[in-house]
Amino acid sequence: MGYYIPVERNVNLFVEDCDPGYGKPILFIHGWPLNHKMFEYQFNQLPKMGYRCIGVDLRGFGKSDRPWSGYSYNRLADDIRMVIDTLQSEDVTLVGHSMGGAIAIRYMARHSGHKVSKLVLIGAAGFTRRPGIPYGLTKKEIKRWEQSWSKLIAATYTDRPKMLDGVWDIFFARYVTKRLKDWFHGLGIEASGHATAKCAVSLRDEDVGQDFSKIDVPTGIFHSVQDKVCPFAFAELMHAQIRGSELIPFQYSGHGLFYEELEKLNRELIRFIG
């Protein structure tokens, strides 16, 4: 079922809850520039095994409201806190993909892991500007990351459909059908243009490196070695900095590992959550 949760005055987030009140809750935070529908192939399998899948559309994306402001990681993490408190959920597994992973990381630090018992980071944008640290990006790699996002931001304001085409060209490492790419393209088009651009600014400029040490729940890091959007170095960095984390490499996918290796991802997710 789907419903709306108010997170601040005149801002409501759309939430899809596969089975309210039943099963161990898994709260999914989607990546940029998609919405909760990206997790379709988790939502149609995990509930069979007793898990309650909860998907939220971040502000500006999917069916949620589209305010002009509020796209910093702090505000987006506060929105997640409002969703969790409204649902009165306990023992939550928080799952974030890409930017959703960065928001999940910020949530854990900013809200001391409130109600979350396990964290899963899927191709997470674990970006930090601190070059030279173990497993971190070099100064040159950081500059390249920032420049690529600056180009995406500029293209968002001039030809967003074409910009999205370019995203899907590097999103997948394996062959996917044109119709599947078209489906993902449609999810991206559903977002508001200003939210797409402003979240891209957050992806480029915000640093979650200082948050890693504040995570104190079991953390699974699911990341593809072929990821061209969020390099595997992000996964190595997070693994080195998050105490007791488990790194699960994916060999045969890109940034879309939740689809390209969906059977492995679902299997590893069930194993990790328990």
Q: State how far the Cα of 25 lies from the Cα of 91, in Å rounded to an integer.
A: 7
Report whether 248 contacts 1 (CB < 8 A): no
Bridge partners, 6 (sequence order)? 12
Q: Which helix (H) or strand (E) holds 123?
A: none
Annotated catalytic residue 227? yes
19 is catalytic: no
Residue 259 belongs to what H/E stretch? Answer: helix 257-260
Catalytic residue among 89, 98, 192, 245: 98
Calpha distance 144→17 (Å, rounded):
39
114 is catalytic: no
Q: Are 116 and 132 in contact (CB under 8 A)?
A: no
- State the distance between the two ends of the chain, measured CA to CA, in whole angstroms: 25
Specify whether the CB–CB gap between 236 and 212 falls below 8 A.
no
Distance between CA atoms of 82 and 158, rounded to whole angstroms?
Answer: 34
Amino acid letter, 157: Y
At residue 246, the 3 state secondary structure works out as strand
From the candidates 224, 227, 239, 253, give the one annotated as an active-site residue.
227
**Bridge-partner residues for 120, per DSSP?**
95, 220
Q: List residues with catalytic annotation.
A: 98, 227, 255
